[in-house]
Amino acid sequence: MSLKSVNKPETNVVEIEFTADKAAFDAAVTKAYKKNVGSITIPGFRKGKAPKHIIEKMYGKGVFYDDALNDVCPTTYAEAMEGQDFKIVSQPEFDVVSIDDDGVVFKAKFYVKPEVEISDYLGIPVTKTVREASDADADAEIEQTRSRNSRQVEITDRAAEMGDITVIDFDGYVDDKPFQGGKSEKYNLTLGSGQFIPGFEEQIVGKNIGDEFDVNVTFPAEYHAEELAGKPAVFKCKLHEIKYNELPELDDEFAKDVSEFDTFAEYKADVKAKIQDRYNKTADGEIEEQIINALIEKLNAEIPQPMFDAETENFVRDFDNRLRMQGLDLKTYFKYTGLDLDALRKQMQPQAERQVKTRLALEKIVELEKITPAEEEIAEEYDRIAKAYNMELDKVKEMVDAEMVTADVAVKKAVELVKEKAVVTEKAYEEPKAEDAE
């Protein structure tokens, strides 16, 4: 068994020829015979007892070749590749060149990692958006927490008002006939929420507990149920309860209830600091995005399509795993979205291509800058992975190859180097205009 020849017929493509000697192939044929003889019937022999040469005479000498070739090829290929430093990026395509008295000659074709060039990656100009957290930002976030910690209080001494939570029965009719989905009992409706048809909630305002009344509305012309679109409707309603959300006071007791702080001032200062941290991380992420875009522009490489295809499949598998963690799967996702596997791949292809280009650029920078992670950095990465997947550290080390972890850490260090050397221009954050937010 040996490597016979190596050819490079096109860019990033390698073809090798390798051999399995006659003894190895004959052994594989005998193994295939023993595997299949039990299912072969030959006149004059009990089932499973026909000699190999008799079966070959009846069905042809190559009757067991397919199984034998499938058996001997992977092992022979692995032996032929020993000591080779090809950076293979695709599954090999195998072919049989010849079978003769000397054994078998195989051909394998595969794609290899491309040669990469990159320059001017230090000193990339980037723009950093500086956003300062304000008291108003903190107040808005505290108000959300306040709303989540509100309690519902029943109202018995007044009529319903906008903002109240009402409990109603309703029974809808169009052309004096009930329609599907038009009836419910003890339904919780917050007045002013816009949950119902325009004009519905406003007609509950002023009603008292126990009142029975009609609500007259017209379905919007663009209503999702075509049979109801644009038609007038009458809802016969009864008001059972009126409630409102009572908000807690913004004081020291509130701070103690929702945080680890003893005073409201400390709590608000912490909320503001956390908002500032988010703003800083957003700005840092935007800088990194600009740097990656620049590196991709500076990258010079003929990237083989199988690299993009393989990364796309990785994206699909990751997406499937995330769905399964939520109790779903791709089949269910396709059912509700109308997509199929090919459409999902097409959606993910651009991001997969970006990922491949980014990795190639950063790996080249690692090479050019001679970046070598320290042992403690590799240990920290293993620890991060263990915590992220809630696994024991020793188990992670068994499952994740050290060379892969080292390469990942090196790439991260390359990103940090390019960010550190980037030429940063700061600009103040501007609130988006109303038309931009729409």
Assess if residue 135 is contained within a domain.
no
Question: What separation in angstroms does the CA of 103 have from each of 27, 66, 73, 368?
Answer: 11, 14, 12, 45
Tell me, what CATH number does 178's domain have? 3.10.50.40
Question: If the chain, 438 residues long, is cut into consecutive pieces of 10 residues, what is the mean pLDDT of each piece?
Answer: 89 95 94 92 88 91 94 94 92 95 94 96 96 96 94 93 95 93 94 93 96 95 89 96 94 96 97 97 96 97 96 95 91 91 96 97 97 94 91 90 93 96 96 65
Report pLDDT for 365. Answer: 97
Instruction: Please indicate, yes or no, if residue 122 is contained in any of the structural domains.
Output: no
- Give domain status of residue 143, yes or no: no
Both tokens of residue 230?
């644009």
The three state secondary structure string of 205-229 is CCCCCCCEEEEEEECCCCCCCCCCC
Could you tell me if 81 and 264 are in contact, meaning their C-beta atoms sit under 8 angstroms apart? Answer: no
- 269 and 418 in a common domain: yes
The rounded distance, in Å, linking the Cα atoms of 246 and 3 is 80
Q: Which of 111, 140, 168 is at the close of a domain?
A: 111
pLDDT of amino acid 436? 55
DSSP 259: S
Question: Mapping DSSP to helix (H, G, I), strand (E, B) and coil, where does residue 44 land?
Answer: coil
Whichever domain contains 425, its CATH number is 1.10.3120
157 and 86, same structural domain?
A: no
What is the C-alpha separation between 158 and 280, in angstroms, rounded? 49
Q: Are 227 and 272 within one domain?
A: no
Q: Which class for 237: exposed (0-12), middle (13-18), buried (19 or more C-beta within 10 A)?
A: buried
**Predicted pLDDT of residue 224:** 85
Q: 22 lies in a domain?
A: yes
Residues 45 and 177 in one domain: no
Q: Are residues 240 and 178 in the same domain?
A: yes
Domain identity same for 301 and 368:
yes
pLDDT of residue 46: 87
Query: Using CA atoms, how far apart are residues 63 and 60, in angstroms rounded to an integer?
Result: 6
CATH code: domain of residue 75: 3.30.70.1050
Distance (Å, whole) CA 221 – CA 231: 8
Q: Which domain holds residue 304?
A: 262-437
* Same domain for 297 and 180: no
- Residue 87 shares a structural domain with residue 233: no
Q: Are 277 and 425 contained in the same domain?
A: yes
Residues 318, 374, single domain; the answer is: yes
Asked, for residue 252, whether it belongs to a domain, the answer is no
Q: What is the pLDDT of residue 432?
A: 83
- If asked whether residues 270 and 376 sit together in one domain, one would say yes
Indicate if 241 and 275 belong to the same structural domain.
Answer: no
Instruction: Note the pLDDT of residue 438.
Output: 47
Q: Pick the last residue of a domain from 79, 111, 143.
A: 111
Rounded distance, CA 200 to CA 205, Å? 10
Number of domains in the chain: 3
pLDDT confidence of residue 435: 59
pLDDT given at position 433: 78
Q: Up-side HSE of residue 410: CA atoms within 13 Å toward CB?
A: 21
